[in-house]
Structure 1
C-alpha cells in the first residue's frame, strides 16, 4: 500500500483527512506539534483501519523542521504518493498589540513550512505514475480580514503559491490542489479567544471536519485546482470581489474584533478559522 504524509494531523481537519486516507488503505506519516494528541490519533486510526501509522512530534516553525520531516520520512519515500500540508495557526487581535515574534511565527508555519515541504516532497511525488499534493488554505484567503490579519494574508499567499505551483506542474505526474475550508467544527474560536459574536456566527455555519475531509479527498484525487467545501463557503470565497473592499473589510472587522482589552491569543490549529458570513 502507498503512504500519505499529513501535517497538523493530531486534531480537526488534519485528523479527519488522515482517517479518510486510512479508510482508503493508505499507511500514514503524521506530523504535529501536540505530541500527546498525535499519539492518541495514531492509535485510534490504526485500530479502526488496520494501517501503519508513524508519528513525528515536530514544531514546523523550527529552523530545521523541513529537513527533520524529510529525514524522518525518508524510509517511506519509495511509497509516499500523497502529501497534505495542513498545519497552520492564527492570532486573533489587533496587529500592533500582538508581539512581532509571534506574528513572524505564524508566517513561518503557514508559509515557510508549506513552501519548504512542497519543495522537498515534489521530487518524491514525481517518482510515481501519479502523486498528489494538497495545500490547505482557507476562505479567508479571498479577502482582507482585520484582527485576523496575518493569518488571512498567509492564506492569500498559500492560495496564490498553490495555484502557481499547479500550473508549473501541469504537464507532470504531480497533481496540486488547494483546499479552502470555511467555518469548521473545531475548537479554534474558543482557543483563539475570539469574541462571543464570532463564536455564534461560526456555530451557525460550521461543517464537520469529516465532511470537509471527504470533499477534500474527492477533489484531490479528481485533480481539482481549488476545493471549497460547502455552498456557503463557496459564496464566502467569491462574493467579496463583487463588493467594495471597504465594505468587506468593515464586515470582517466587526466579526473578528476582539473584546475590549482582551489579550490576543495564539492557537495552533489543524483547521481554518471561521469564514466571513
Structure 2
C-alpha cells in the first residue's frame, strides 16, 4: 500500500493538500507537531474519503527529526510514492534583533529537514512505478526581503535545491516540483507576529484550498515550478526584470515593522 507523506499537515496549505489527495483516494501519512490536531484531521479524512490515514507528531526543528520520521516509516513498512515538504514558518524582524536560536530552528524546518527527507526517501521513491516530490517555497524566494532575511533566503534555497534535484532525477520515475505560493489565508502571519501587514495579506491572499488544487494538479503534470495566482506569478516574473535594489526596497516597505 502506497502513501503520500505530508509535513505541516495539520492546518493551512498542508491540510488542504491532504484533503485534495484524499479526494483522489491517496492514502496519507500526516506529520505535524500537535497530536490532537493530527487526530482531528485524520478522522475527518478517513470519514469523508475512506482512505487510510496514519500520523506522527514530530518537531521538525530538531536535527534528528528527518531520521526519526524515516525510521518510523520503515518500521511500519509503509511505502511512500509522494513526498510533500510543506512544513515551514517565518521569523520576522531585523536580523540582529531576533533570536539566533529562533532563526536556526526556522532554518532547520525550512531547509535542512526537507533536504534530509528527500535524501532519506529517494531510494524508496525510486522503487515506485511513478513517484513525486513537492517542496514548498514561497514567492519570497525570488528576492531578498528585509525583516524576513533568513526566511526569504531559506525559500530561495529550497527553490534552487528543488530545481537542481529535478535535473539530477531527469529521466527517472521521480518528478520534482517546487510550489511557491504568495500570501495565503492561514495562520502563517499570526505565528510570525506580522500583524502590521495582516489586513493587506488577507485582502490579497489566496485560500489554501485553491492553492492546494493548483499544486496537486501541477505536481501530477510534472511541472518544475508553480506560482499560484496571476498576481503572484506576475510579481515573480517582475523580479527578474528590474534592478534587485528596487525589488528589495519595495519588499522592505511591504514587510517593515
Q: TM-score range by the shorter chain?
A: over 0.9
Q: Which residue of 1 aligns with 2:168?
A: 168
Give the C-alpha shift of residue 22 in structure 1: 0.6
Return the structure number with greater relative CO, CA threshold 8 A, min gap 6. Answer: 1
1:97: how far off?
Answer: 0.7
Which residue in the other structure is 1:257 paired with?
A: 256
The corresponding residue for 2:92 is 92
Unaligned runs of 5+ in 1: 259-277
Q: Which runs of 4+ in 1 moved over 4 A?
A: 75-78
Q: Which residue does 1:239 correspond to in 2?
A: 238
**Distance apart, 1:171 and its partner CA:** 1.3
Matches within 5 A, 1:1-277: 2-75=2-75, 79-196=79-196, 198-258=197-257
Could you tell me whether the CA contact under 8 Å between 1:179 and 1:227 is conserved in 2? yes
Q: 1: CA distance between counterparts of 2:187 and 2:204?
A: 14
Q: State the distance in 1 between where 2:209 and 2:113 align.
A: 24
Once residues 79 and 65 of structure 1 are traced to their aligned partners in structure 2, the CA distance between those partners, rounded to angstroms, is 19
Q: What's the CA shift for 1:191?
A: 2.9
SS at match of 1:25: coil
Q: 2 CA distance for matches of 1:194 and 1:74? A: 39
Question: 1:176, 1:223 within 8 Å by CA — same for their partners in 2?
Answer: yes
Q: For 1:244 and 1:220, how far apart are their aligned partners in 2?
A: 31
**Alignment size in residue pairs:** 257
Deviation string 1:180-206 (CA, Å, 9 cap, x unpaired) is 11111112222322143x122212211
Whole-angstrom distance in 2 between the partners of 1:119 and 1:101: 25
Q: Deviations over 1:28-78 (max 9, x none)?
A: 101001222222111111111111111110011213211111011125656
In structure 2, what is the Cα distance between the partners aligned to 1:191 and 1:60?
16
Residues 150-184 of structure 1: per-residue CA shift (max 9 Å, x gap): 11100000000000000000011100110111111
Structure 2-normalised TM-score? 0.96
- For 1:127 and 1:11, locate their aligned partners in 2 and report how far apart those are by CA, in whole Å: 30
Q: Secondary structure at the match of 2:28?
A: strand
CA RMSD for the aligned pairs? 1.3
Distance 1:114 1:160 in 2: 13
